[in-house]
Amino acid sequence: MESDFLVIGSGIAGLSYALRVAEFGTVVVITKKEEVDTATNLAQGGIAAVLDKDDTVDDHVKDTLISGAGLCDENVVDIVVSEGGQRVRDLVDVGVRFVRKQNSPNEFDLGREGGHSKRRVAHAYDLTGREIERALVEKVQNTPNITVKENHVAVDLLMTNGMRSRCVGAYVLEREGVVVPYKAKMTALCTGGCGKVYLYTSNPDIATGDGVAMAMRAGANIQSMEFVQFHPTCLYHPKAKNFLISEAVRGEGGILIGVDGKPFMEKYDDRKDLATRDTVARAIDSEMKQTGCDNVFLDITHKSREFLSKRFPTIYGRCLEYGVDISRDPIPVVPAAHYLCGGVLVDTYGQSSIEGLLCLGETSCTGLHGGNRLASNSLLEAVVYAKRAADKCGEIKADLDAFKLPSVDSWRPGEAEPIEEKILINHNWDQIRRTMWNYVGIVRSEKRLELAQEKIVHIAEEIEAHYKAYFVTDNMVELRNIAFVAQMIIAAASKRKESRGLHYMRDYPERDQAQAVPRTMRRVKGGKKWDMEEVTV
């Protein structure tokens, strides 16, 4: 399979980029599951941008920088916020139906979320991600230059001469045991985040950090992996698998209360329930540890049933399925792994440190989020960078046209055989996720990180042995990738001897201004595949 552009992932970043580069080249999009099985599809809150006359770029920039805990790239923040309004309007042109004001249909009905000083979140009630994905998928399906391959899994990147050479595509698992080289002049990793590395997450099952893991193995620069955002409010119910209670509920007046029915956020932050996610998640974690309870509650019962069922139809309906009428009952909630602020380090056009390899969306680290992403800035970053990356590809089109794809080796299974005992995968998968949740979660310590490192290295070695001994399966690829991502998070967290943003260390509870810089790491040449070293960029 050959194309001008290979896009790995079918969320907002991948499809937005694919639609733009399809104007001047052939595009192949591969996606692990169905086209709409993405984190984008689960996004409830919306997309933040300056869309109201009472809002300003300076205000949005300021809010983003405050949330980022001193680690944002100010130039990137300016770029994304300044270009954001037009990118939202581009989505409208594609067919996204954001909610408008009843008395003024030309204006967006904007929501407000934690950390924002103004209402600036364009939404489709609490179905924003699904609405964006619907419109983009329909557009892609009607674009001749784009071929979508569902249920295809990227295994590793195709490199011309080993680590840190040029990327020319990826090895792709088409079905169990069958791995095919997909060659391309430009490859874009848009594989989303890595929430499944933790036991509790709001992410879809496909969020196994594939893009970051593949790029790391190829020698790309990786930045800020210690900053994993835990969403403060996921529904706590034995039958509710990773169901998010949107930050917009607090934006509309929801109040966090303990088991005693009393609000507690005023003890932790002057902004109370509208504090940033890192503060709220740690506050909830603290309350749960102090009381010994499994959850806290989010109370929005002071709003009418009519308002709640209209503003939050999905949340209202899903909670009702589990016996919780949010107009009468406080919602039981717990924090859960939600978003990776770090990732593959890219420039302002999405280009990684490896030639021919772009990274967009949650897979990338642009510098926008710093140490803590501001709510609803993720979809914004995805569309802004998709446009910038596509524009850059357009500028170098002549060079791409002249580039001849080299011959590549076929996949070599060696002495591999089919894996029959799936328990080998399931056991390691559970071990990694429990270890990361218990030792590398919302609150960390040097001792916990040391224990996690010791455990994960042992598991990773076992996984590599399985990987070589058996035919490749999608589960094996994902398991291997979460092992690599776990190693990256632990390595980065061990280096930061302070508490900042989403990274809280019991041994170092204060910020250290000397460490107010992002940390960049890279795979060690000649070491084990997961060995990382800090580098200066």
404: Cβ–Cβ under 8 A, 6 or more apart, which residues? none
Residue 413 has pLDDT above 80, yes or no: no
- Whole-number pLDDT of residue 36: 53
Strands (E), 150-197: 153-159, 167-175, 178-189
How large a percentage of the chain has pLDDT more than 70? 96
The fold for domain 229-338 equals Flavocytochrome C3; Chain A, domain 1 (3.90.700)
Element (H, E) at 492: helix 474-495
- Domain ranges (residues) in the chain: 2-42+131-227+341-402, 229-338, 423-513
Amino acid making up residue 187: T
Answer for the pair 366, 76: CB distance below 8 angstroms, yes or no. Answer: yes
Strands 2-8 and 121-122: unpaired
Q: DSSP letter string over 396-421?
A: THHHHHHPPPPP-PPP--TT-B----
Answer yes or no: CATH 3.50.50.60 is held by domain 2-42+131-227+341-402. yes
Total-model pTM: 0.90
CA atoms within 13 A on the CB side of 342: 29
Question: pLDDT tens across 324-367, in order?
Answer: 999 999 999 999 999 999 999 999 999 999 999 999 999 999 99
* CA atoms within 13 Å, Cβ hemisphere of 268: 21
Give the model confidence (pLDDT) of 252-266 as tens digits.
999 999 999 999 999
Give 409's pLDDT tier (boundaries 50, 70, 90). confident
Q: Are 224 and 519 in contact, with CB atoms under 8 Å apart?
A: yes
**Which residues on adjacent β-strands are paired with residue 181?**
171
Q: Give percent above pLDDT 90 in the chain.
A: 74
Q: Which tens digits make up the pLDDT trace of 79-96?
A: 999 999 999 999 999 999
Segment 163-191 mean pLDDT = 92
Place of tokens 């979140």: 121
Q: Based on the residue annotation, tell me whether 444 is a catalytic residue of this protein.
A: no
Q: How many angstroms separate the CA atoms of 171 and 156, rounded? A: 5
pLDDT (tens digit, 9 = 90+) per residue, 153-173?
999 999 998 778 999 999 999
Q: What is the Cα–Cα distance from 425 to 419, expressed in whole angstroms?
A: 10
* Tens digit of each residue's pLDDT (9 = 90 or more) over 61-73: 999 999 999 999 9
From 217, 277, 496, 500, the catalytic residue: 277
**What's the pLDDT band for 416 if we cut at 50, 70, 90?**
low
Which is more confidently placed, 267 or 38? 267
Asked if the model's pLDDT at residue 379 lies above 80, the reply is: yes
Closest to 146 measured CA to CA, from 31, 293, 280, 250:
31
The residues near 409 (Cβ < 8 Å, ≥ 6 apart) are 181
Q: Which residues touch 241 (CB under 8 Å, ≥6 apart)?
A: none
Q: How many CB atoms lie within 10 A of CB 156?
A: 18
The pair of structure tokens assigned to 484 is 């690599």
Classify domain 423-513 at the CATH topology level.
Methane Monooxygenase Hydroxylase; Chain G, domain 1 (1.20.58)
> Per-residue pLDDT tens for 11-31?
999 999 999 999 999 999 999
Which residue from 82, 59, 73 is spatially nearest to 387, judged by alpha carbons? 82
